[in-house]
């Protein structure tokens, strides 16, 4: 490349490169000639870009440090492939290259293995923290209180709350911290109260519909909608987590709706 070429390249590179200037361009020229010190200087100069992309890429439960490594790898690839002679700013070439590396990482290895496990672990942590805080304060915590306690963002807590609704596997059989022998199983907790419940007078159709809902869900529905207990109070009585109460309520109301619709005469 001649001096004229270099001047041309600088002149045509457009406004985005103003902050970089000719020093950066010289580094690229030296790097393309195999100068390792120039390569190192370029890596240092553009690591903040790689870091910013790793931070901005929606990573769900992927640890940030892992993603940063992938972004750094993308940066090295971008440096190797970049042709400063074409006159484009490096950043506009590097952004898609680095993002491409992160996307590949998620598609090849990351997503199917790490993310579901990571978010499931976090969902369990949130569930357990909810119980500890509820025991400590005598009432259910807010999302901000959970976020502060677990040192997570409010968005991470909300994602966990949503995940708990979806995970069947975080179910009633999972051991809970502080569970005592008094409530050895779900069925034991339910039995005594349920007999009283059966005495409530209901008309035939209602009984028929309710009869198709499992016993434990019937009990929880009754506590929430007839006795007007809070979900945390129900959780304590039954010996499960509030989040499970929430999930069971949603599921059984859905079932009730479906059964009620089935029983309606078809139009």
Residues that bind another protein (CB under 8 A): 15-16, 18-19, 49, 52-53, 56-60, 91-92, 95-96, 99-100, 103, 106-107, 110-111, 115-116, 130, 139-144, 146, 154-155, 157-159, 161-162, 166, 200, 202, 205-207, 209-210, 218, 221-222, 224-226, 228, 230-232, 242-243, 245-246, 249-250, 253-254, 256-257, 259-260
Which is closer to another protein, CB of 84 or CB of 119?
A: 119
Q: Of 159, 102, 97, 85, which is closest to residue 125 (Cα–Cα)?
A: 159
Minimum distance, C-beta of residue 44 to another protein, in the bound complex (Å): 17
**Cβ atoms of residues 204 and 193 within 8 Å:** no
Rounded (10°) CA dihedral 87, 91, 94, 99: -150
Minimum distance, C-beta of residue 243 to another protein, in the bound complex (Å): 7
Minimum distance, C-beta of residue 1 to another protein, in the bound complex (Å): 26
Minimum distance, C-beta of residue 205 to another protein, in the bound complex (Å): 7
Which is closer to another protein, CB of 38 or CB of 256?
A: 256
Minimum distance, C-beta of residue 33 to another protein, in the bound complex (Å): 28
Give the Cα separation of 50 and 69 in Å (integer). 9
Which is closer to another protein, CB of 154 or CB of 184?
A: 154
CB under 8 Å to 199, separation ≥6 — which residues?
none
CB under 8 Å to 78, separation ≥6 — which residues?
90, 93, 94, 97, 98
CB under 8 Å to 98, separation ≥6 — which residues?
49, 50, 53, 71, 74, 75, 78
Give the Cα separation of 197 and 191 in Å (integer). 10
Minimum distance, C-beta of residue 261 to another protein, in the bound complex (Å): 9
Which is closer to another protein, CB of 81 or CB of 257?
A: 257
Which is closer to another protein, CB of 34 or CB of 138?
A: 138
């Amino acid at each position: 490349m001649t001096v004229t070429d270099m001047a041309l390249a600088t002149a045509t590179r457009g406004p985005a490169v103003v902050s970089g200037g000719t020093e950066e361009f010289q580094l690229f020229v030296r790097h393309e000639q195999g100068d390792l010190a120039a390569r190192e200087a370029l890596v240092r100069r553009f690591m903040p870009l790689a870091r910013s992309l790793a931070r901005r890429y929606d990573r769900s439960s992927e640890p940030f440090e892992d993603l940063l490594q992938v972004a750094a790898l993308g940066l090295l690839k971008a440096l190797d492939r970049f042709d400063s002679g074409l006159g484009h700013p490096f950043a506009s070439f590097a952004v898609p290259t680095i993002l491409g590396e992160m996307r590949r990482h998620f598609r090849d290895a990351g997503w199917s293995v790490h993310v579901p496990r990571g978010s499931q672990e976090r969902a369990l942590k949130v569930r357990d923290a909810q119980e500890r805080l509820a025991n400590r304060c005598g009432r259910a915590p807010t999302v901000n209180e959970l976020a502060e306690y677990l040192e997570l963002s409010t968005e991470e807590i909300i994602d966990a709350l949503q995940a708990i609704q979806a995970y069947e596997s975080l179910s009633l059989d999972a051991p809970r911290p502080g569970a005592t022998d008094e409530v050895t199983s779900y069925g034991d907790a339910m039995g005594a109260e349920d007999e009283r419940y059966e005495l409530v007078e209901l008309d035939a159709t209602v009984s028929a519909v309710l009869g198709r809902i499992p016993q434990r869900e019937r009990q929880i529905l009754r506590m929430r909608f007839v006795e007007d207990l809070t979900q945390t109070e129900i959780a304590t009585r039954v010996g499960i987590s509030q989040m499970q109460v929430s999930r069971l309520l949603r599921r059984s109301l859905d079932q009730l709706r479906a059964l009620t619709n089935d029983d309606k005469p078809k139009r």
